[in-house]
Structure 1
Amino acid sequence: MNQLARSNRHINMPCPNCNAPVQRTQTSDGDIQLACPRCGWGQNRTIKPANEDQPHTKPNLIFYLLGLILSPIIVIGPYIAALIYLPQLFPNDTLPVWIHITYWLVIAIYLAAAYTEDPHFSTDLSDWAWDNPFSFEDDVNRASSYIALLLLPGKLVVWTLASTFSLIFKH
């Protein structure tokens, strides 16, 4: 246990009631408590330390079922379309093996990018108002929004896979 968790320290968070600095203390059961010494805000709230197992939260059932339905369509749908329409472009009406391998490699890279990429947007509305030739921020926001839209189906597939994995192996 580190020194910060053992001692009473002031942190830079102000109290939402009286704006006094919030004090961080450790309770007798080892939980961390953030409380205001002036008005008493947060006396009954505790935070579990990060190393303890947090209770498992189940995914929202509607989104989970939607993901179970749409994920195979997103992944296998283009593959079936390629199997139907692309053989007409090749002799003997068969697809070469490299197209099958390339498709599944591209899907794996796409899902890995959807899992790791988290585009960040500027919340300043002036960056979205017009195309400012002297500001790079509006171009970054526009590119981030395009990346987020492009990776949205992959994020649905990855979320469904992660939820299924957690439901199977965490219980």
Structure 2
Amino acid sequence: MPPATQSTAATVARWRAAAEGADAQAAVACLSPDIVLSSPLTEQFRLEGPEEVGDFLASAFTAIEDIRFHTEIGQVDAYALAYRARIGTQPFEEVQMLRFDDDAQISEISLYGRPMPALTALMITLGPKLARQQGRRGLAALLRATSTPVHSMVTFGDRRVVPLTRPRSPELHRGR
């Protein structure tokens, strides 16, 4: 039996308020005991259970600032939410696909973010933070060291190279 629409809508409202308020505890209160979060950065792991997801959210809320939701599309057992924020100076936009259990609690979260420089900035910030929380300082340093060059290349490409691929106006093509 699918969750009641009104209860699911109430959970979504609480989830949005928790995210916009950077309140990991309030966000965890919206989660099913069987919650699974698919990593937004890699298919190599997923987070399971309110404790793991709560630790992730607490770290994410320190890295992702000024979350403001702008779109919500939903059905009884699934919602897609989109927000704009920033990671440091990088503008960031994320879509969250939420699925619900029979008690109108969030049972699955899939995250999709853009643009690429913001995602690599998130890698530099969030990966090491999660590793340090696990007491893995060496891994935190390795994650930062391997992510920083990727971020530099992506940011350079986004600012300097990608603009060169923009279509030219028709007036510019006539003279060639």
**Structure with the largest fraction of helix:** 1
Question: Which bin holds the TM-score, normalised by the shorter protein?
Answer: under 0.3
**Structure with the largest fraction of strand:** 2
TM normalised by structure 1 equals 0.25
Higher relative contact order (CA 8 A, sep 6+): 2
TM normalised by structure 2 equals 0.25
